[in-house]
């Protein structure tokens, strides 16, 4: 067996190591266009920022190890230019020597990854405009900052963009962040990103939403960005992080099936339309685990799993890829934001029915020092209650709950299973009713029809109903500190005594700070015959949805 | 509906609040023998140690809130002495006034908890010998330390015992810890507790395993413990934490079914043998979620869930309790130890077939500063690979992985599902191949027969086989720093060149530091025709199993 792998980073390197563990006598050739194999893409921003000080640490598996332990035939700085499927050879060009030669294969794995988008904006090719993919890119950006960068513009507020912004701030660079959409972290739903936008602003980042770069131009010794809204932003350094496109040109030229958005199409064994050619990693189109629809999710975890699965199948195993959930997490300053499964906006776009709840539990027992609230958004199927997606933002314990919910989603568990989850509780790590249980309780109550809920986005229409009455059941001091316009304040513990303040026949919309007192009040009022509904996530959710008020 | 609840802490208070949310017109009477309702048992050691400074915070729900928000008829300092099931009344004694009266019920919930064991050791009733259950106990222990305690003896190294020891050390008290068993944290398997024992000793705790108190006696102004081994340990303060027994006397006297170990027996709706009487919390016998066998697991999380389920069923819902996994976590100094599901020793006792693996992954990417190893022990069913239990010990990220594994166990997922888990990865929080994936990969490899493994406890028998050869594949420097007696050192990356050092026909037992290089070497040697097996968890596991060598 001669296995040829094109691309030596996450998916390609994983496939190579797995192949060797499965077969000592296979010949395994690993081509990589760049100089570096098996490096830690996700660590690059932190080397720029100085948290990772040793560049060598970014090489996950050193070439010597790949050669000695896994006996791989490593060919860095080598570009695979064409695949001749009929003859089962690839044509390669050694970038160091310029030599072009052919290499035969029995099986071929394409792990060519995805390239950062560089749209044809005027001035895009000026020096000083960077993207971040390779160690070389990293060195160039770091060298620029080391030489002295006063002002930077980051274009794109996705995961990599925010990681870079954090590290630019860490290096003392005054940073402007442009994002075409009206929110940071576009994979998340907008309201969940408000605390992240606030954290960015609190750390001095000039955040410009609904804004984009129209042109880049020289400006003295540096550059300037001309924006859609007509601003001109001088900058010593510009980084683009507006997305990636699969590097599927090699595959397409060889006639392999490629999806409408450029991802190579594969079967569950990660085999392309040619049974001797597999593809793994960011170059793929994969099934969304929730919807089954094809999607492209450039993430390191799935790429690694895919490398393993392709090697397995090549060596006779029945391994299958189950699809990608899109589990992702970001630390940004003191905050973390995470998601798994599908977002609300994609559910809306797909026309798929769903319900949602918001809760704001703490990461551990409130009586123990250091309790911090997080916000969990849980999306689930009406009726059965199957979990469709979750998003979490907060300071502490976010990673634990998103991982728990990722497992629940993998197992196709329901919100009712979350009610019954038995998670680890000690005062430092959890609560007798964990954050995940709380999300389950609230969702379960909604699904069982225990109480009606409304969402912040329903309020404008509700306010127009003459019978509607908005009741703030928080304490007077909380109400005085800020409330939803038009709300009357009846603290929950006075509710039974002040029922005369609630005329019959009114539609009562109840809210508290986080949702829990509103829930208790709603239950009470409904049992007393009122038409009452609770605002999910309470005033806190109202604030997250109206961050500028 | 008149609902009477006996016991007002975790399970009882949860049941009462849930009952009110389900019914505004129910009458709900909550009896509690002690003065305090709804307090945070799990926080008590940290109030003694001073991490929690505000005693008021230990009251999770204040009486005023329970009265005003949930309209509960609270009766603290009231002992329920008898149940007359025929007349549906309880006889109660007000401990404040001495008055005895009867209270009728439609439905009764017993949440009487479990009492710390006080075995009939000579001197057990001397002043200065404490147990920890109530706020009053807490106040007494704290007052003693505030007055000045130089030396303390903690009897029992279970969860509460270790939490108390940590806090005694924090208060500057020289502490001796006696444990009858030959390990700390008896619910865990012994080898997994070695790092905890080491941490205790490193923090100055005089840990005496396989040791117990035979007598307590006065000693000057203080006390002394006479131990089984004949030692005499002076102490100003003695605390017993050797276990609890269900307070099921009231139930038993009323003729309700009680299990052999004293737990009240209930159906899945938590109904006792009398359909109008329910029981919740530490007083219960519950099904073990893995084996289905009856067990007693005094934990706050399950007690809270049970309270909710009993109230649900009383008010006409079909809620069921699925059993207890025994998910638990402990922080002890810089370490954490956690478990979910069944332990190996209980599997052995039950005669149930199982396989196990050990891995030592880090909590996040190794290239990012602060990576710390944890040890995961995973127990699973041979063949299908269903997860039976997991134990983790380490400094960071333990809570996340035990919660992920607790969800996997709840969903009856397999080790193969762990291989496919898509968990959150960024350098601060995880790895492209998460710790849980690693456990899954290793277990999956074993289950699929990719390679043979042996365990540390197999070594004594293996060493007696003349054909056995123990091969240490670590680097020379690692080998020189300590190795398993009798091992020859052939570093993994020299293995292919030194195959002549491995005579044919030998049974090769391979090990490295943590298991991964040993795995790669084992795969290689087996493909070259050798009979090779890997030592699971490597030299690190050998050290954990032989902590005193």
Give the DSSP per-residue string, B414-450: BHHHHHT------TTT--SS-HHHHHHHHHHHHHTTS
Catalytic residue at A512? Answer: no
pLDDT band at A549 (very low <50, low <70, confident <90, very high): low
Asked if A406 lies within 8 A of B417 by C-beta distance, the reply is: no
Residue A408, pLDDT above cutoff 90: yes
CB-CB: which of A42, A417, A423 is closest to B403? A423
Cross-chain CB nearest to B423 (options A327, A421, A528): A327
Average confidence (pLDDT) over A266-289? 98
The strand pairing partners of B28, in sequence order, are B3
Q: Is the distance from CB of A315 to CB of A361 less than 8 angstroms?
A: no
Q: What is the DSSP letter of A371?
A: -
Within-domain flag for A536: yes
The gap between the terminal CA atoms of chain B, to the nearest Å, is 65
Q: Are residues B211 and B352 in the same domain?
A: no
Structure-token pair, residue B174:
């020289």
Cβ B434–A301 below 8 Å, yes or no?
Answer: yes
Catalytic residue among A42, A65, A121, A206: A42
A345 — pLDDT class (breaks 50, 70, 90): very high
CA distance B184 to B337: 11
Q: Collect all residues of chain B within an 8 Å Cβ-Cβ radius of residue A427.
A: 40, 42-43, 46
Task: Return the sign of the alpha-carbon dihedral for residues A343, A344, A345, A347.
Answer: positive
Whether residue B370 is found in the same domain as residue B443 = yes
Q: What is the CATH number of the domain that holds A306?
A: 3.50.50.60
The pLDDT-based confidence of A547 (bands split at 50, 70, 90) is confident
Q: Is residue A322 part of a domain?
A: no
Bridge partners, residue A9, by sequence: none
Give A366→chain B minimum CA distance, Å. 8
Cβ proximity of B236 and B151 under 8 Å:
yes
pLDDT at B156: 98
Which of B40, B68, B399, B499 has the most A C-beta neighbours within 10 Å, making it the best mutation to test the interface with A?
Answer: B399
Nearest CA in chain A to B436: A403
Question: Which two tokens mark B279?
Answer: 């029981």
Q: Does position B549 have pLDDT exceeding 70, yes or no?
A: no
Distance CA A483, CA A481 (A): 7
Residue from the list A24, A417, A420 with its beta carbon closest to the beta carbon of B527: A24
Domain count, chain B: 4
Instruction: Kindly state the average pLDDT of the residues A403-429.
Output: 98
Contacts A437 to B, Cβ<8 Å: 305
Residue B386: exposure state from Cβ atoms within 10 A (0-12, 13-18, ≥19) = middle
Q: Do A305 and B420 touch (CB under 8 A)?
A: yes
Comparing CB atoms, the residue among B368, B420, B423 nearest residue A403 is: B423
Q: Which helix (DSSP H) or strand (DSSP E) does residue A137 occupy?
A: helix A135-148
If you average pLDDT over residues A329-333, what whole number do you get? Answer: 98
Same structural domain for residues B441 and B471? no
Looking at A242, A275, A297, the residue that finishes a domain is A242
A524 contact residues in B (CB cutoff 8 A):
24
A358 with A460, same domain: the answer is: no
Q: Do B42 and A425 touch (CB under 8 A)?
A: yes
**Rounded Cα–Cα distance for residues B220 and B107 (Å):** 53
Same domain, B343 and B408: yes
Q: Is residue A521 part of a domain?
A: yes
Domain with B457, as residue range(s), is 452-545
Report pLDDT for A352: 96
CA within 13 Å, CB half, B282: 19
Answer whether A454's CB lies under 8 Å from A534's CB.
Answer: yes
* Interchain contact, A424 vs B365, CB within 8 Å: no
Task: Concatenate the DSSP letters of all residues of A395-414 into one string.
Answer: SSSHHHHHHHHHHHHHTT-B
Query: How close does chain B come to A214, measured CA to CA in Å?
Result: 32
Give me the pLDDT at residue A371, please. 96
Does A138 share its domain with A212? yes
Question: Given a cut of 90, is residue B547 above it in pLDDT?
Answer: no
Stretch B527-537: mean pLDDT: 96
Is B325 inside a domain boundary?
no
**Could you read off the pLDDT of B142-185 as tens digits, one per residue?**
999 999 999 999 999 999 999 999 999 999 999 999 999 999 99
- The tens digit of pLDDT for each residue in A37-78 reads 999 999 999 999 999 999 999 998 999 999 999 999 999 999
Instruction: Tell me: do A153 and A229 sit in the same domain.
Output: yes
Complex prediction ipTM: 0.97
Residue B322 domain flag: no
Q: Is the pLDDT of residue B365 over 70?
A: yes
| 8 A C-beta contact, residue A149 and residue A236 | yes
Query: Going by C-beta distance under 8 Å and a sequence separation of 6 or more, which residues neighbour residue A272?
Result: A110, A251, A256, A257, A264, A265, A266, A278, A279
CA within 13 Å, CB half, A464: 3
In a domain, B338, yes or no: yes
pLDDT tens for residues B19-56? 999 999 999 999 999 999 999 999 999 999 999 999 99
Q: Which domain-ending residue is among B409, B430, B447? A: B447
pTM score: 0.97
- Residues sharing a CB contact under 8 Å with residue A541, sequence separation 6 or more, in sequence order: A191, A358, A375, A455, A456, A515, A535
Instruction: Identify all chain A residues contacting B365, using CB atoms and an 8 Å cutoff.
Output: 40, 42-43
Q: Strand pairing of B387-394 and A222-227?
A: unpaired
A342 and A415 in a common domain: yes
Which one, of A477, A531, A523, A544, lies nearest residue A503 by Cα?
A: A531
Per cent of chain A over pLDDT 90 is 98
DSSP A459-492: HHHHHTSTTEEEEE-S-HHHHHT---TTPEE--G
* pLDDT tens digits, one per residue of B299-343: 999 999 999 999 999 999 999 999 999 999 999 999 999 999 999
Mean pLDDT on A371-398: 98
Give the model confidence (pLDDT) of B212-249 as tens digits: 999 999 999 999 999 999 999 999 999 999 999 999 99
Tell me the nearest-neighbour CA distance from B482 into chain A, angstroms: 23
Least CB-CB distance to A406: which of B57, B60, B422? Answer: B422
Q: Is residue A319 part of a domain?
A: no
Out of B254, B286, B314, a domain closes at B314
Under 8 Å CB pairs connecting chains A and B tally to 237
Q: Are A510 and A518 in contact (CB under 8 A)?
A: yes
Long-range Cβ pairs for the range A482-490 (8 Å, 24+): A482/A539, A482/A543, A483/A539, A484/A459, A484/A511, A484/A539, A484/A542, A487/A511
Residue A304 Cα, gap to closest chain B Cα (Å): 7
Query: Of A114, A433, A340, nearest to A245 (Cα)?
Result: A114
Chain B residues with beta carbon closer than 8 angstroms to that of A491: none
Residue that is written with structure tokens 């670590």 in the block: B474
Based on the fold, state whether residues A97 and A151 are members of the same structural domain.
Answer: no
Record: contact B403-A399, CB cut-off 8 A: no
Residue whose C-alpha is closest to residue B79's, from B41, B34, B113: B34
In this structure, the answer to whether residues B228 and B250 fall within a common structural domain is no
Q: Show residues of chain A in contact with B300, CB under 8 Å.
A: 425, 432
Instruction: Give yes or no: residues A494 and A509 share one domain.
Output: yes
Give domain status of residue A16, yes or no: yes
- Angle formed by the axes of helices B194-202 and B538-545, to 10°? 70
Cα–Cα dist A357/A537, whole Å: 7
For residues B231 and B249, membership in a common domain is answered with no
A233, A153 contact by CB (below 8 A):
yes
Question: Does residue A451 have a pLDDT over 90?
Answer: no
Q: Is A423 helix (H, G, I), strand (E, B) or coil?
A: coil
Contacts of B40 in chain A (CB under 8 A): 365, 367, 427
């Amino acid at each position: 067996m001669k296995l040829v792998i094109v691309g030596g980073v996450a998916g390609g390197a994983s496939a190579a190591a797995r192949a060797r563990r499965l077969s000592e006598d296979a010949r395994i050739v690993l081509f990589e266009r760049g100089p570096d194999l098996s490096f830690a893409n996700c660590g690059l921003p932190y080397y720029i920022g100085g948290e990772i000080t040793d560049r060598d640490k970014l090489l996950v598996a050193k070439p010597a190890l790949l050669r000695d332990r896994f006996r791989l035939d490593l060919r860095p700085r080598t570009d695979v230019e064409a695949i001749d499927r009929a003859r089962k050879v690839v044509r390669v060009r050694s970038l160091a020597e310029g030599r072009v030669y052919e290499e035969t294969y029995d099986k071929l794995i394409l792990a060519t990854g995805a390239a950062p988008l560089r749209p044809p904006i005027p001035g895009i090719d000026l020096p000083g405009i960077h993207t971040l993919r390779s160690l070389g890119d990293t060195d160039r950006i770091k060298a620029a900052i080391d030489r002295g960068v006063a002002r930077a513009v980051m274009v794109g507020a996705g995961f990599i963009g925010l990681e870079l912004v954090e590290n630019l701030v860490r290096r003392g660079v005054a940073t402007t962040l442009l994002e075409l959409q009206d929110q940071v972290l576009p994979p998340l739903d907008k309201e969940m990103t408000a605390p992240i936008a606030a954290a960015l602003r609190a750390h001095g980042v000039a955040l410009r939403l609904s804004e984009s770069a129209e042109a880049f131009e020289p400006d003295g010794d540096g550059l300037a960005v001309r924006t859609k809204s007509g601003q001109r932003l001088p900058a010593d350094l510009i980084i683009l992080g507006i997305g990636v496109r699969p590097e599927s040109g090699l595959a397409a030229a060889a006639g392999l099936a490629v999806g409408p958005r450029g991802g190579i199409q594969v079967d569950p064994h990660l085999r392309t339309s040619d049974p001797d050619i597999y593809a793994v990693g960011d170059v793929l189109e994969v099934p969304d685990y929730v919807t089954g629809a094809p999607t492209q999710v450039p993430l390191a975890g799935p790429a690694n799993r895919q490398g393993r699965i392709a090697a397995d199948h090549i060596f006779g195993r029945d391994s299958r890829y189950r699809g990608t959930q899109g589990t992702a997490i970001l630390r940004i300053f003191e905050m973390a934001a995470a998601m798994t499964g599908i977002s609300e906006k994609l559910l809306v776009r797909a026309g798929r029915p769903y319900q949602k709840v918001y809760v704001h539990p703490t990461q551990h027992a409130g009586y123990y020092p250091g309790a911090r609230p997080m916000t969990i958004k849980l999306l689930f199927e009406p009726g059965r209650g199957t979990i469709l997606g979750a998003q979490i933002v907060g300071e502490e314990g976010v990673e634990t709950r998103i991982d728990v919910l990722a497992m629940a989603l993998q197992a196709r568990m329901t919100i009712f299973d979350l009610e019954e989850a038995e998670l680890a509780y000690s005062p430092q790590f959890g609560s007798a009713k964990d954050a995940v249980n709380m999300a389950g309780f609230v969702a379960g109550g909604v699904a069982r029809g225990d109480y009606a809920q409304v969402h912040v986005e329903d309020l404008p229409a509700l306010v127009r109903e003459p019978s509607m009455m908005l009741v703030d059941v928080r304490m007077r001091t909380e109400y005085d500190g800020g409330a939803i316009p038009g709300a009357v304040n009846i603290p929950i513990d006075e509710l039974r005594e002040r029922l005369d303040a609630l005329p019959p026949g009114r539609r009562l919309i109840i809210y508290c700070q986080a949702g829990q007192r509103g829930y208790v009040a709603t239950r009470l009022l409904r049992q007393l015959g009122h038409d009452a509904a609770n605002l999910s996530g309470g005033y806190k959710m109202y604030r997250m949805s109206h961050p500028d008020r």
